Amino acid sequence: MKINLWYSKSMGQWRWTLTEEFRNGVTKIEQHAGQQPMLRDAMNDVANTVEYLLGKTDNSSKGIACTDVEMYHSQEHRYSDPQ
C-alpha cells in the first residue's frame, strides 16, 4: 500500500492518493484519492480508506455484501481529475 499526501496551494486543499497492489496469481491495482481543505479531515479519509481496504480483503472470501463505507468510497472519494 502506498499513500501520497500533499497540499495544493492553488486549490487550498490537502490532496491524497492511495494505491494498493494485490497479487494472487493475477496482479490487480486499485487507486483511491480524495481532497479536503483541512489536514485532519484528509487524514481521516485516508484512515477510513485503509480500514475499508483491509476489511474488503478480509471479507472478500466470505461473500459479504456492499457496506456503507464501500458506497461512501465509490461515490465520494474517487475522481479522475489529474490536477
pLDDT > 80? residue 5: yes
- pLDDT for 4 equals 97
Cα dihedral value 74, 45, 23, 67, nearest 10: -50
- pLDDT for 22 equals 79
Average pLDDT, the chain: 77
Cα(12)–Cα(69) distance, integer angstroms: 26
C-alpha cell at 65: 455484501
Cα dihedral value 57, 60, 66, 67, nearest 10: -40
pLDDT tens-digit map of 16-45: 999 988 778 788 888 999 999 999 999 999
Task: Give the H or E element holding residue 19.
Answer: strand 13-23
Cα(19)–Cα(38) distance, integer angstroms: 22
